[in-house]
Structure 1
Amino acid sequence: MGLVAIVMWLITAMVGIYLLYLWLSGGGLRQQATKVTRFPAVLVFAHPALAVSALGCWIAYVVTFERFFAWLSFGVLTVSALLGFTMFTRWLGGGRHARGAEQRFPLVAVLLHGLTGVVTFVLVLLTAAIATGL
């Protein structure tokens, strides 16, 4: 299950990189000063930074089978997921009158990123729980 989680993580990351590209190319950073975007830059960059850090911990777990790395990965991934959920709710709350760069996000990409992210989260939790004997 550990390797399946990595594959799901990479799919999630690829779609996330696409969404980040759309946000940046749509002027997301420039819109920070005018408050047009609903996504603060710290939120936009902390979410993937934490996800990549959690992936690094997960790879350490898959290589060493040290339960500490599995739970550390899950903890960091939880924070990243909460930030992602915050962005998702802000994206939903933007409505049809919003003008931010995030309004260019295709619904399919947002849903795919979220779905694969949830699957990754569940796989990491289940694998860590099984490794611990819970």
Structure 2
Amino acid sequence: MDIAALITWVITALGGFYLLGTWIRHGGNRRRPSGTSRLPAPVVFGHFALAAIGLVVWIIYVVADENALAWISFGLLLPVALLGFVMLARWIPVRRDRAGAEAPSATTASGTDGSVPAERHFPLAVVLAHGLFAVATLVLVLLTALGIEGQ
């Protein structure tokens, strides 16, 4: 089960890297007076940093098979999940605005003028897959830490 958790964690990380890259590419990390991004940079980068640290600890756990490392990874995943839910809650209105908005002009389509939130460019499929794999990872890490092995 530890390898299954590692695989789901890596898949989750790949989706997260894509979302982070999209957010940065469209100016999400730039401070703007208009404050169009609903995702605060400390939340985004905190989510990323804790998830990356947790993944490194999990890899060490897989190699060393020290149960304390599994619990540390799980403990790191809890704030990662909380920050993820905060970002999801802040992203949903942006997604709804996108669905109800008219086609953006060429100037605002890139999001570089500050009028379009960077997170508006997140593909729904990637957000959903990232979230589903994250939940699967959290469950698998917890089951592994509890010593429950798949039969």
**What TM-score do the two structures reach when normalised by structure 2?**
0.81
Q: Distance in 2 between matches of 1:74 and 1:32?
A: 35
**1:126 paired to 2:127:** no
Structure 1 residues 99-108 or 30-39, which shifts more?
Answer: 30-39
Structure 1 residue aligned with 2:88: 88
Matched AA of 1:20 = L
In the alignment, what sits opposite 1:100? 117
Seen in structure 2, the aligned counterparts of structure 1 residues 91 and 20 have a Cα distance that, compared at 3 Å, is same
User: Residue 39 of structure 1 aligns with which residue?
Assistant: 39
| More displaced stretch, 120-129 vs 88-97 | 88-97
Q: 1:33–1:69: structure 2 CA closer, same or farther, 3 Å change rule? A: farther
- In our comparison, the structure showing a higher alpha carbon Rg is 2
Equivalent runs, 1:51-90 vs 2, <5 Å: 51-90=51-90
Uncovered stretches (5+) of structure 2, i.e. residues with no partner? 99-114
Distance 1:56 1:118 in 2: 18
So what's the TM-score if we normalise by structure 1? 0.91
Q: Which runs of 4+ in 1 moved over 4 A?
A: none
How far is the alpha carbon of 1:32 from its aligned partner? 4.5
Deviation, structure 1 residue 33 = 4.3
Identity of aligned residues (%): 48
Which structure features the higher share of helix residues?
Answer: 1
